Structure 1
Amino acid sequence: MNFWRLATLCELCSTASINEISGQGSVDKVAIGSLMRYKYYEGSSNESLSTLKQAEQSTTYRDSSTAHLAVDGNPSSIDTICAHTNNQTDDWWMVDLGRVFEVTTVTIINRFDDCNCGGRLDGIVYEVGIATGSWEECGRFLGPGHGVVNITTTCDRTMHGRYVRIRKIKQDYLSLCEVYVYRSSNESLSTLKQAEQSTTYRDSSTAHLAVDGNPSSIETSGNEHICAITNNQPDDWWMVDLGRMFQVTTVTIINRIDDCNCGGRLDGIVYEVGIATGSWEECGRFLGPGDGVVNITTTCDRTMHGRYVRIRKIKQDYLTLCEVYVYS
């Protein structure tokens, strides 16, 4: 059992109210929700995130070829234990990872039996989404899949999402014997660290919301605000203190994607790294377009070391950051 799971179990035990004689009792559901929200980095990077998770597909070829067969933990490449869709245009298969992860790699166990059907996976798109309606392409496999058991695709950029979808881009059966989704072993340096910003749009849109471990791209959840927002002023900025010096290589922002249509607010920002708060050096820029883009990632154009990372507007607009991940 890995460290994070063990820690989570221990913390959950401390929230339980159990009768010592009968062994019956209850667990504080609020405490569980809080714990699971902040256990963002759970498990080791070589554990599949998709195994035994909830899956669905657009169509099912036979009643016994259901979506869950691709995440049941059985990696056999024989037809009877594989998920199959019908032979239709744009058929897809999807898994719900349960919460948001940084997704880096997807491996498919292809069908490899007397059918000679391995080529059915020629022409597929891998997509990652914060929600089921906000897909971004991770990569493609165009073939040839015939005779290939393991088909692995690594996302072409840093991506965060709860859902992973595999979609056909030509008409054919989609046959998946098993799907493994993996996350990065590189943990964010900024999560749960001290943050501040130049101005605050509302009392509840404070800087810490961009490093609280909640990567939702929707600005409000009920009465709870989950994105950091500054006022609409020139040169507004947001900053995080990493706690000590690191080599900073990449910064990923979870952009606001909701009914506001505010994704373009991030058009025109500068990423800066500093040894101290008064000694900034530019890491890179994002000029847009940000509208409709969930994950905005910038890699520093050179080796940079610093304790502080700042995101600064270079045009007047609200600075809206739903989550910020800094990587070494």
Structure 2
Amino acid sequence: MDLNNITGVVVTNRIDCCPGQIDGAEIRIGNSLDNNGNNNPICAVISGIPAGRSVSYSCSDMEGRYVNVVIPGDSKNLTLCEVRIYGTDNVKLTGNAVQSSVFQYFWSAERAVDGIKLAPDEATYCAHTNEENSPWWRLDLLDEYYISAVTITNRAGGHSGRINGAEIRIGNSLENNGNNNPRCAVVQSIPAGGSLSYFFPHTKGRYVNVIIPGVKKILTLCEVEVYGILPVRKNFVRMKFVSTSDPENDKLLSQLQSALASRGITGVTLSWTKPPQREQKRDVEEGPCQIIQ
């Protein structure tokens, strides 16, 4: 791959025997091929992945061209069923945040997207709900995106375990405030003041929800970062135009694109779904009109 900032790596383990063979594997990222790239900086060490499961590792925008997975030691076997790498091709998305309730006025939903991860006084600069049944937080991206990753930063200090069991749901429905959209991940735990990234195979949706199901729960989110790309939309237009150019000449598309740009329409790529054809004129014989009575 080209030089890039790597945000995360997802590793899928084998499903049959020997899932423990992956234990101790190192993910290394960098630009050097010294020792086949295995001397590059360590992003993460795999402590264990259940059989047939995938685990995400956040690499905090490490820069590198090469991504290695190596198990140090003698007489080792390395089995990788899938390795997915996420970089800065996916941009951080913004939108409007709301939540089920607000614990006091300054712990509003917008606190989770204000760019401030550090919460020095426990829940300061965090979104915080009241104690209630199934509290939730939602980000409206204002358009449908392919979402590849969500990073959640937990509160510092006490009560960090409140985030345990939270579900990340992504989709286009506002039914049940968006909490009926497909579940993409479940937060097992996040260390106090720490951040954890969850990666998805380009899940499509406009709404990103974080909800803790259950009775008398409190949801605190110090930062939620959503990464993705806007889907490429294709529009098909049937055109009829006058041109002296050969319809089969590629310059015709360039001329059309330039004409659109001159009218302020940019960011558009034109292509033929089928080659244009010249309109055939039919000769009509002139003659006296017939009057039908």
Structure having the larger proportion of residues in strand: 1
TM-score by length of structure 2 reads 0.48
